[in-house]
Amino acid sequence: MSIHLQGLQELTHLIFISMKDILKSNKALKTVLREIAGVAGYMWERGWAERNAGNISVHVSDLLGHEIAEKVSLPVTELPMEYPKLAGCVFFVSGKGKRMRDLARKPLENGLFIKLNDSANGYSILSSETDSGNFKPTSELPAHLAIHQMIAERGSSEKVVMHSHVTELVSITQAREFCKQDVLNNLLWSMHPETMIFVPKGVGFVPYFLPGTLDIATETIKALRDHDVAIWEKHGVFAIGENVPDTFDVIDILAKSARIFFMCRSAQIIPDGLNEEQLNGLKTLASNFQTLPQ
Ligand code: 13P
Ligand code: ZN
């Protein structure tokens, strides 16, 4: 049963928040939006963002919660399941069907702020800059929220969830031999030393499922429990991180490894790759690196 409250659009429109006004005084939020715009542009430039490909969500309750605490009487759209750890939380999410290249120029017009209700089974759109009639959060919202819920359950500090159709990584999953998680990780780690250092937990492999479904969301959180990134067979990647640039960097590093592999192969070179001893050395370096003060 839908819990969308019909007929209140006109009345409630009056209390949608003007993010443009909020951003005038909220420098931290402004920075996050600038970072989202920057990364959306990089995705487009790298050819990972055809049409509306890819989406992003950022947990911004810490940056925005107090400014919208009293704005509760907005229409609520039902979610496909409950996310109890996210009750009352606020997220910036890219819009369904919106282009990354447009998000890069106008983040407020191509993304929206949503707040989950106290029962965590529905959300309200907060921002007024969007065309509220047709504008919805990304179709991958079930996966994004499931991942934010997993992060909240384990009490870790990631705020960002990023999905992209990374050509190099999608290409690798076209080969059955690389659809095995250990084989895939060994290939990616062995192409460049920095991959082990910056993606030490490697990638979790998610076999093909219909996009936008609860099934793919469930498989993605399983993959992200022990890994830095989930790779969706023949579709793209999901990465999590503490901030927007770092999350993008992890995806970029994996793409670089895959690109090295394909460049070698297209030059008829069978890449040697780093050997086991070299990879073990990097693993030790990576664990020391993680414990170094920033
Ligand atoms: P959205 O436009 O709904 O975000 O979908 C893009 C996408 O990549 C689906 O997997
Ligand atoms: Zn996608």
Ligand 1 contacts CB of residue 55 (under 6 A): yes
Tokens of 294: 């920033």
CA–CA dist 128, 118 (Å, integer): 22
Nearest to 54 by CA among 117, 127, 144: 144
Residues 6+ apart with CB under 8 A from 257: 187, 188, 189, 191, 192, 195
Q: What is the DSSP letter of 137?
A: B
Selecting among 140, 158, 168, 219, the annotated active-site residue is 140
Ligand 1 contacts CB of residue 54 (under 6 A): yes
106-156 residue pLDDT tens: 999 999 999 999 999 999 998 867 765 678 999 999 999 999 999 999 999
CA–CA dist 129, 131 (Å, integer): 7
Domains of the chain: 5-138 (3.40.225.10), 166-287 (3.40.225.10)
Q: Which of 44, 50, 96, 102 to mutate to test the pocket of ligand 1 (most atoms within 8 A of CB)?
A: 96
In the block, tokens 């770092």 appear at: 246
Tokens of 146: 């499931």
CA–CA dist 103, 207 (Å, integer): 29
SS3 content of the chain, % helix, strand, coil (to 5): 50, 15, 35
CA–CA dist 290, 294 (Å, integer): 9
Cα of 165 vs centre of ligand 2, distance in Å, is: 6
Tokens of 105: 């120029």
Query: For this structure, is 10 an active site residue?
Result: no
267-290 residue pLDDT tens: 999 999 999 999 999 999 998 876
Q: Output the tens digit of pLDDT for each of the chain's 294 residues.
A: 344 444 344 444 445 677 888 888 899 999 999 999 999 999 999 999 999 999 999 999 999 867 765 555 788 999 999 999 999 999 999 999 999 999 999 999 999 999 999 999 999 998 867 765 678 999 999 999 999 999 999 999 999 999 999 999 999 999 999 999 999 999 999 999 999 999 999 999 999 999 999 999 999 999 999 998 999 999 999 999 999 999 999 999 999 999 999 999 999 999 999 999 999 999 999 988 765 554
Under 8 Å between Cβ of 262 and 168: yes
Residue 130 sits at φ, ψ, to 5 deg, of -90, 155
CA–CA dist 220, 239 (Å, integer): 10
- What pTM did the predictor assign? 0.92
